[in-house]
Structure 1
Amino acid sequence: MTPSFPTAWLKGDPRALAFLPDRFRHRAARAEAAAASALRPMSSALLDVVVAQNARLAPSPARERHLEELARPGTIAVVTGQQMGLFLGPLFTLYKAAAAITAARALREETGRPCVPVFWLQTEDHDLPEVDHCFIASPRGSAKRVALDVPEAAASRAPVAHRKLGASVTQALEALRGELGAEPQASEHLELLARAYQPDATLAEAFTQVLAALFADEGLVFIDPRDARLAPFAAPIHRFAIQDASAISTALSRRVEALTQAGFSEQVHIRPGSPLGFYSPDGIEGARYRLDPAGADTWSLVGHPRGATVTTGELLDWLEREPLRFTTSALLRPLLQDTWLPTAAYVGGPGEVSYFAQLSPLYEHAGLPMPLVVPRARFRVLDDRARRLLHKLGLTPDEVGEPRDALLTRLATRDASEPYEPAGTLEARLFGAFSSELDRLGESMLKLDPQLLDALKRTRGTVRAAVSRLAARYGRALALRDEVTTERVDRLRAMLVPDGAPQERIHGMAYYACRFGSRAFTRQVLDACVPFSGDLRDLMP
């Protein structure tokens, strides 16, 4: 069975490397990417807007130095980005930013070129249910969901850049305080969140303020594409996507076919003949829609309640008059980033790695070299509470990810004063003995009366079902034999593999920051980052 594309790519599977070379691993390739990006300096007019955007954040001498460097020819960038999750969303947001910072440092040291870490704020996205909440790890193990009260979230199509937090953010902050207020560093972290997450602030403003404060010493630079001053710089990319939609989608579809034939799944569906961007017909704060071909020079707005259409001429006219009506998709966003920025490398998670596996034809069509794609840092936080449970249970962190029932059965069998047979072994032994005896007796029975065949089959089926029921009950009894062990396993699994998923994809930062301090925890993440690695590492604050 072929693994997922990111897994195969990280393992160096030739099938994956045929679509996305692992150039990030090789110093010579990194030097080539740096040299190529150094030839594409950032526009001074565009940089002026980015400087103004960053001036709204808390002062950071390191950030100011990085912005000054971006004005100089030859400066390169390491870029990452993420959606605006409530209270920074899952932990991997922090890990992405830290990985971009450490990769930028490494490229600076290797190449001698100024290299700036840049965080692209994905404010154009409209999927509010993905960002209106976060999960908070608990001392008791289970994660608590904290969310904004947005009744229309599922139907929202407007970019999140325009979404105010509203009054319910106060209740969300109180929920955090109620859950984590007793932790040693809670007041420091909760005050940081409370300063940023005000009802009149947008999701993007609050998110940026907090992340900028965490990485002020490292000088992380932020760029928000949802800015009327930047929209004219995006217009050429949207014009390109509209006018060359057919050729681009054809090339991307062929790429998907090749990926599928190699055994990999399509990460982003390619709509035949459609541009890769979105259009907001009702204004810059209105709903955005994909475009599908609907005849000669006419496009339908996918999902529009009235089935509206628009002509190519109208689109190009609006692109000239109000370019902020146009927003990028997951596949078009990288091209916009790398047109604006001297991107030597992009730090991405598994989903983005899969995007880039599809993107080579788009970059080729645009005549732009692809940046290095660098896997983000991956961590599993083992705090003192988790470590104590691991010690008590005699487990390794990897073992905690095994199926729950199998893990409980193994622990019960291992710790029993008398050895208990695993349920599967018991079932095989009982039914195997019966089946062998039935086979032996069946031969003589059928010689006596061939009509007994149906009776033998029914008996075999009845006994198998009865033995399976007995083995299942026995297995559950084994699993639940030690209630203390069961409770500890469930608590540990909730800490390390909540709902069976990697911790970093579910838990937010708040629990760890309230225990260890916002900056202290961030510092530990930075110190543990290994540039250009992508390996899962354990973090033990």
Structure 2
Amino acid sequence: MRTESVQLPFSQPIVEAYVQRTHPGVEALFGSHPAEESHWHRRLNWLKAQAGKRVAPERLAEALQAYNKRLNDYPAVMANIEAIRSGAPVVVTGQQAGLWTGPLLVIHKAVTAISAAKDASRLAGTAVVPVFWVAGEDHDWDEANHAYVRSGETTLTRLAIPRPKGGRTSVSRTKVAPAAMADALEQLGSALPDTEFKRDLLEALAGFASDCDDLSAWFAAAMGWLFGKHGLVLLDSDDAGIRSLEAPMFAEMIRRNDELEAAYLRSAASLRELGYSPTADVAETCANLFLFEADERMLLFKGDDGFRNRKETFRLSREELLRIAEHEPQRLSNNVLTRPIMQDYVLPVLGAVLGPGEIAYWTLTGEAFRALGMEMPLILPRMSYTIVDRTTEKHMAKYGLAYRDIVERYEAHRAAWLKERDELDIEARFEAARSQFAALYGPVMGMSASLEKGLGDLAADNLRRIQEQIGYLEKRTKEAHARRFDSALRQQDGIALALWPDNKPQERVLNMTDFWNRSGSAWLEKLLDAPYERAGGHHLIYL
């Protein structure tokens, strides 16, 4: 298998400092680093010593088994759940559910978790299970409801399911009609080019849809299809079985909410002292918990007499919220700052695979972990990949394009490539025409202005309009010239669309169906066999 390591720019300075270990203060925010083998053993020992303070493995295994039996019933998954029942630690990753798994970065997270669990098993000398935490409790429908695929050589198509009528509740609780799922699949079938893999892909997705009535379940079924045989255990954070396990920690978060607020504020202050800005909101009086009320997921804030929503149209006392935690935990939900703590309470987390944005906001949670007598798990930067299909690779060689040419200077390259083939010297001739006209027109402008002041302004405006018309003709002339090279430009634009679509990394845009349709499972098998690095990295994967 051919791969190529490429260092992309870090989107978050604090993530760069953590990954490359250039700032001891940043590393101290996490308390450990995956490059240190001793930190793995220390975390493993801590998990064993604190086992009684987490969800009992037997209860966790029962909840996981019930959920995975429905959507991810593969022998390797059930074997891994039994390992969890016996006390095995986990490497966990997660993401909000997305249409047909969403952007490829979701796939990269799962691949990293599987690879990291294998690596940790060898390192620790014990079974380590990969787990994917489906953030079904999130309510951002517009983040979950769509997928992008290439529907032609240079066309990017967005496919989406409109939000069903009803409240702003979680994605897992938003019911999607079978007709809406069928319509989305019909759109996908129309968008994808015809290949030998297309029919089986659409039939598989349709089969999952027939057993699901929400996007989270459809997401989980697709993830199971992709990764079930590799033992990836799935967990929906909005699953009733998981919610019942979370009740004691919800109660603890409510009772000690002031302490947690102070902890988050301390972490934010520490970040600023180190020269970094917090990437998640740390607001005073925010409870960092959501409550489901009348089909709405509302963020809670603290008031003098209990808790309230942002608009203060809903209130309940601390005692009432504690009763909900005890008897109706399914009505409670975590936010971005409390989710890491809840995850660590539910699961025996040896390591958490995170993307750059997540690593940045986890810097705000260290003090909160410590406030509750917990320790942050090892933070594992996820691997990222760019898949290079054979057609794209062939065209890159044909036009002498490297990956960095596409990422850093494609538009400049495209313009230069066209200019090299401009035997008419279009740009220079139009520039000469503009200069000559300005030279001829200058004396006329001066003469008009000398006769009447207002004519000077009119002449200047007239010059601007004429220059605009010359520019317009130049643009149309260049377009006509470019059409002579239509086929070659489409191939080059196709390279850009495949590797850096919409001027973004491939993993943040394209959906897995795009690659499955082109090469079946080959692309995924190569990702699973790709090099794994504990500190993350980016690889080009050539199909």
**Aligned twin of 2:448:** none
Equivalent positions of 1:511-526 (< 5 A) are 511-518=514-521, 520-526=522-528
Equivalent position of 1:242 in the other structure = 254
The question of whether the paired residues in 2 share the 8 Å contact of 1:170 and 1:199 is answered with no
**Cα deviation, residue 496, structure 1:** 1.5
**Does the C-alpha gap of structure 1 residues 180 and 271 become closer, same or farther in structure 2, counting only changes over 3 Å?**
same
1:332 maps to 338
CA distance in 1: counterparts of 2:153 and 2:10, whole angstroms: 38
Query: What TM-score results when the alignment is normalised by the length of structure 2?
Result: 0.83
Partner-residue secondary structure (3-state), 1:197: helix
Listed as ranges, the matches of 1:112-261 within 5 Å are: 112-150=125-163, 152=165, 156-166=167-177, 167-180=179-192, 182-198=194-210, 201-261=213-273
Opposite residue 124 of structure 1, the aligned amino acid is E
Q: Distance in 2 between matches of 1:221 and 1:395?
A: 40
Change (3 A) 1:465 1:114: farther
Correspondence for 1:491: 494
**1:354–1:161 distance in 2 versus 1, CA, 3 Å:** same
> How far has the Cα of 1:322 moved from its partner?
1.0
Quick one: structure 1 residues 223 and 415, their matched pair in 2 at CA, closer, same or farther if it must change by over 3 Å?
Answer: same
How far did residue 181 of structure 1 move?
5.6
Task: Give the drift of 1:150.
Answer: 2.2
Q: Distance in 1 between matches of 2:96 and 2:465?
A: 50
Deviations 1:48-76 (A, max 9, x none): 12122222235422112211111224x21
CA distance in 2, matches of 1:468, 1:25: 59
Question: What is the RMSD computed on CA atoms of the aligned residues?
Answer: 3.6
Does residue 1:393 correspond to 2:399, yes or no? yes
Report if the CA contact (8 A) 1:413-1:422 is conserved: no
The CA distance in 1 between the partners of 2:93 and 2:119, in whole Å, is 15
- Structure 2 distance, partners of 1:190, 1:18, is 48
3-state SS of paired residue (2:131)? strand
Give the structure 1 partner of residue 540 of structure 2.
Answer: 538
What is the aligned partner in structure 2 of residue 67 from structure 1? 81
2:283 matched residue in structure 1: 271
- 1:193-224 CA-partner distances (Å, limit 9, x unpaired): 11112385221221111111211221111122
Q: Which residue of 1 aligns with 2:95?
A: 82
Q: Is the 8 A contact 2:427 2:474 kept in 1?
A: no
Q: Partner of 1:384 in structure 2?
A: 390
Q: Deviations 1:152-195 (Å, cap 9, x if unpaired)?
A: 5xx85211111222121101111111222612211222221111
| DSSP 3-state at the match of 2:229 | coil
1:482 matches 2:495: no
- Report percent identity of matched pairs: 26
Query: Counterparts of 2:68 and 2:30 in 1: how far apart (Å)?
Result: 33
Tell me the secondary structure at the aligned position of residue 288 of structure 1. strand
Distance change in 2, residues 1:172/1:19 (3 Å) = same
Runs of 5+ unmatched residues, structure 2 = 1-8, 440-461
CA shift for structure 1 position 540: 1.4
Give the structure 1 partner of residue 302 of structure 2.
293
Stretch moving more, 475-484 or 326-335 = 475-484
Q: Is this contact kept in 2: 1:253–1:270, CA < 8 A?
A: yes
Q: Does the Cα contact within 8 Å between 1:185 and 1:513 map onto a contact in 2? A: yes
Equivalence for 1:444: none
The CA deviation at 1:148 is: 1.0
Amino acid at match of 1:209: A
Equivalent residue, structure 2, for 1:51: 65
Offset at residue 474 of structure 1 (A)? 7.2
**Which letter maps to 1:12?**
R
Contact 1:277 1:327 in 2 (8 A): yes
CA–CA separation in structure 1 for the residues paired with 2:360 and 2:183: 37
Flag the 1:418–1:128 CA change in 2: closer, same or farther, 3 A.
same
Contact conserved, 2:251 with 2:326, CA < 8 A, in 1? no
Equivalent residue number for residue 28 of structure 1: 38
Q: Scaled by the length of structure 1, what TM-score is found? A: 0.84
Match of 1:173, as an amino acid? L
Which shifted more, 243-252 or 472-481? 472-481
> Number of matched residues?
508
Superposed CA offset, 1:97-154 (max 9, x none): 11101100011111111111111111111111110111112342322111113255xx
What corresponds to 1:19 in structure 2? Answer: 29
Q: Report the AA paired with residue 81 of structure 1.
A: G
What CA deviation, in whole Å up to 9, does each residue of 1:319-342 have, x standing for no partner? 222111100111111111111111
Q: CA 1:69–1:203 in 2, change beyond 3 Å: closer, same or farther?
A: same
Q: Give 2:3's aligned residue.
A: none
Aligned counterparts of 1:535 and 1:298: Cα–Cα separation in 2: 46
C-alpha distance in structure 1 between counterparts of 2:400 and 2:468, whole Å: 30
Separation in structure 2 between the aligned mates of residue 37 and residue 361 of structure 1, nearest angstrom? 19
More displaced 10-residue stretch of structure 1: 118-127 or 400-409 = 400-409
CA–CA distance in structure 2, aligned partners of residues 422 and 233 of structure 1: 72
Alignment-mate amino acid for residue 291 of structure 1: L
Q: Distance in 1 between matches of 2:539 and 2:477?
A: 36
Are 1:349 and 2:352 an aligned pair? Answer: no
Decide which moves more: 214-223 or 398-407. Answer: 398-407
Q: Given the superposition, is the C-alpha separation of residues 234 and 256 from structure 1 closer, same or farther in structure 2, using an over 3 Å criterion?
A: same
Deviation at 1:240, TM superposition (A): 2.4
> Which residue number in structure 1 is paired with residue 317 of structure 2?
311
Residue 437 of structure 1 corresponds to: none
Q: Is the 8 A contact 1:38 1:76 kept in 2?
A: no
Stretch moving more, 332-341 or 48-57: 48-57
